[in-house]
Amino acid sequence: MLDTHGRAAVQPIISKTAHNLLKVGLSANHVTYIAFIIGIISSVLIYLGQPIVGVVVLWLSGFLDAVDGSMARQSKTSSSWGTVLDVTFDRVVEAGILVALALRHPEPNVLMLFLLLAISIIFTMTIFLTVGALSEKESYKSFYYQPGLAERTEGFILFSLLVLFQSHLVFWTIIFIGVEITTGIQRLLEARKILKS
């Protein structure tokens, strides 16, 4: 939701950063790899008990994840391979955060909720990617970016809440699961409309 409706507000900063990184000789794929490495570092910091620094680093990773797409468009180097890298690395970074939190909180009830959260993310992303691959609609991405209640920014907010308020981990995980399932159903209903033959 925030990505769809709030992108215009932050796009000038993203575009300027993209322009500057292109000027110093970095490519979009370089920044995709850098964002991925930073995202993994975030997981390590969270595991080591540095939640605030971990969240700051996570958001830096997320910012660069937005910048790489802008770089590809500015340099006219958008590619299907870049999209595959981007989407794959996003999921690995998210999994890393869950693994870091699971290692710090191995209680059975928490682990079960994390499993349900992972399943809800898989459910939502499966619909998102399938609709993106099958739809003839276009967006600023290299495939149809299906809007929903939880997009990338909402995911970062919810992961941040999990990390920063670990004393309320069960509560925030249940909220996260609810948001993901709602988004998945929302996207499934939209998919029925736009893909109906």
How far are the Cα atoms of 2, 57, 71, 192 from residue 78, in angstroms, in the given order?
A: 23, 26, 9, 29
Task: Find out whether 188 and 123 touch, Cβ atoms under 8 Å.
Answer: no
Distance CA 44, CA 51 (A): 10
* Active-site hit among 3, 68, 86, 90: 90
Distance CA 49, CA 96 (A): 14
Distance CA 155, CA 176 (A): 8
Distance CA 5, CA 29 (A): 26
Active site residue 90: yes
The dihedral formed by the CA atoms of 131, 135, 137 and 140, expressed in degrees to the nearest 10:
50
Q: Tell me the catalytic residues.
A: 90
